[in-house]
Amino acid sequence: MDDVKVFAPNTISNVGCGYDVLGFPLEGLGDEVHVSKRNDSGLRIKEILGADLPLNSEKNVATIAIQALLKSLGEDGGFDVSITKSISPGSGLGSSACSSVAAVYAVNELMGRPFTKSELIEFAMEGERASSGAAHADNVAPSMLGGFTVVRSYDPLDVFQIPFPEELLAVVIFPNLEVRTEFAKKILPKKISLEDGVQQWGNMAGLISGLMGNDMRRIGKSMMDSVAEPVRKVLIPHYDKVKDAAMTAGAIGFNISGSGPTTFALSDDMNLAKNIRSACREVYQRNGIEVFSLISKINPEGAHVI
Ligand code: HSE
């Protein structure tokens, strides 16, 4: 095989209480990366569609991730890379992660699959390090593996999938603004109080239990965040109003997607999900802010060849 095209989905990470730990991918929204072998060495980005990003292979997250993979094999390319992005970076929907994931998945295919999907996560994390200053895995892991993923440990990396209710729907609301993850990480407290810790790990356990036991009430009660949401919500215009609108319209829970400005609500009913979406959109429309929205199930598949 000399040529391959891979799709990797956008993701919702943190999911309330799981900062840098929890995430799940969306259906029908993600990046496509087309990689072809060349006879010489090096990486070349031929084109990027859908976002204004550097063609310099030393600055682009996709080629930085490929470089990490090649380095571990002692190889030096050569590959041509073309990227079609679904959504710009700074959305809170794991935009850099899905480019990095699709890129390393594609090169792994072209090299005869030296790595498993799980092993590819660490290379894709290098793209995250380059884009946000932190090699977090809560977007790359779900984009790569599919399903609801947990990063149990970073050192050593230990990632696994947990069962989730198939009927769960995410209502995704993206106001057309940019929040840089690097900045959204810097403003978080370096330390949290024992009281906040107790709340957070109680909610983490509750959320995992709710997901594994199909208990929507428990999922909703546990989708709280004492660490990032209180600090980051000020970066998202009308956050409290949008959250109120979603909860009043019947959302199971509501929170920030990744580092924002995208927010999301969960529901287990398509009609309710549509009402939640309209209620959230209305808040933004009243305030003259354009939004992109969608309703998606949790994507069980993750990255794949197309
Ligand atoms: N877990 C990361 C953060 C996700 O919240 O900073 C970034 O999208």
Residue from 12, 125, 132, 154 to probe ligand 1 pocket by mutation (most atoms less than 8 Å from CB):
132
189 & 228 share domain? yes
Query: How large a percentage of the chain has pLDDT more than 70?
Result: 100
* Residue type at 91 in one-letter notation: S
Note if 116 is an active site residue. Answer: no
239 & 107 share domain? no
The average confidence (pLDDT) of the chain is: 96
Per residue in 25-43, pLDDT (tens digit) is 999 999 999 999 999 999 9
Per residue in 159-187, pLDDT (tens digit) is 999 999 999 999 999 998 899 999 999 99
Task: Give the span between the Cα atoms of 285 and 294, in whole angstroms.
Answer: 16
- Of 261, 266, 288, the C-alpha closest to 277 is 266
7 & 114 share domain? yes
174 & 120 share domain? no
| pTM, 2 dp | 0.96
Task: Give the span between the Cα atoms of 69 and 279, in whole angstroms.
Answer: 44
Per residue in 226-281, pLDDT (tens digit) is 999 999 999 999 999 999 999 999 999 999 999 999 999 999 999 999 999 999 99
Domain boundaries, position 248: 169-297
175 & 290 share domain? yes
Per residue in 114-131, pLDDT (tens digit) is 999 999 999 999 999 999
If one counts the domains in the chain, the total is 2
207 & 253 share domain? yes
Task: Give the span between the Cα atoms of 53 and 60, in whole angstroms.
Answer: 7
Q: Look at ligand 1, atom 7, and give the residue with the nearest C-alpha.
A: 258
